[in-house]
Amino acid sequence: MEKIMKKGCKVHVRTGDQVKILAGKHKNEQGAVLRVFPREYRAIIKGMNIVARHLKPSAGNPKGTIERKEAPIHISNLMLVDPATGQATRVGRRSNEEGKLQRYAKKTGNFIKNG
């Protein structure tokens, strides 16, 4: 039986954000978000959760190799770092002056710049 996923999942982190990891072997470490997978509710963080992937021998690589790369982390284990203060904060959404919905840091109330 296939698992049915929601069409447009809202996540509190975006590519390029600085995040703090809340759980796992990289707990309390910070890193930049490289990629977000909203449907799986996961994100890849630069330099965190490194896994080894064994590649079979091929014509281009006759001996085979062990490739090390970042694996996705569940978004519930990530907290956004406020660019203004450098502290981890929860994220909310509210309208800015132009009426556009924008993310803001709940700790300080400041808007978070996109990108």
Extents of the domains making up the chain: 18-82
CA atoms within 13 A on the CB side of 73: 29
Computed over its alpha carbons, how large is the radius of gyration of the chain? 18
Q: Does domain 18-82 have CATH number 3.30.390.10?
A: no
- Global pTM value: 0.80
- How do the pLDDT tens digits run along the chain, 115 residues long? 456 555 667 888 999 999 999 999 999 999 999 999 998 899 999 999 999 999 999 998 899 999 999 999 999 999 999 988 889 999 999 998 888 888 999 998 889 887 5
**CA–CA distances in Å: residue 20 to residues 5, 30, 32, 110:** 26, 4, 9, 18
